[in-house]
Amino acid sequence: MRKPRLPESKIKEILAEQAAGAPVGDIVKKHKISPATFYNWKTKYGSGDAAPAKRGRPKGSKNVRTAAPASVAAPAAAGGSLADENRRLKIRLVDLMLENERLKEMLGR
């Protein structure tokens, strides 16, 4: 892997300029970098407090529709967190979409 042209401390200073309100176009011209480089740096060195977003199918979802587990059918108001409820709803949505596709195929579209 290539060594960056600028030290990490300088990159963080450049990102701080944007956080202070300077337009990205001006920062890019001033430091002679491309906008893509700036946004790559922002992704890599930007706010370290945010966790990277998870992608893909929600954990526990299946390609084949089966009976919904009790945890999916139960409301999350019984002490469940918002993230848990969101995960359960995503799983349920995927299952319903698959069932919808299967019914369309049975009807011959």
Say which residue the tokens 């450049």 belong to. 14
pLDDT of residue 5: 79
Distance CA 88, CA 27 (A): 43
Answering whether pTM is above 0.85, one says: no
pLDDT at 54: 55
Give dist(CA 78, CA 84) in Å, integer.
11
The three-state secondary structure class of 91 is helix
Sequence-ordered list of residues with C-beta below 8 angstroms from that of 95, at least 6 positions apart, any chain: 61, 62, 65, 68
pLDDT in the model for residue 23: 92
Q: What is the pLDDT of residues 15-59, one digit of tens each?
A: 999 889 899 999 999 999 999 999 998 988 875 544 555 556 666
Q: Which two tokens stand for residue 13?
A: 């200073």
- pLDDT value, residue 76: 47
What is residue 88's predicted lDDT score, i.e. its pLDDT? Answer: 93
Distance between first and last Cα of the chain:
52
Local confidence band at 79 (pLDDT 50, 70, 90 cut-offs)? low
Domain boundaries, the chain: 8-45, 70-107
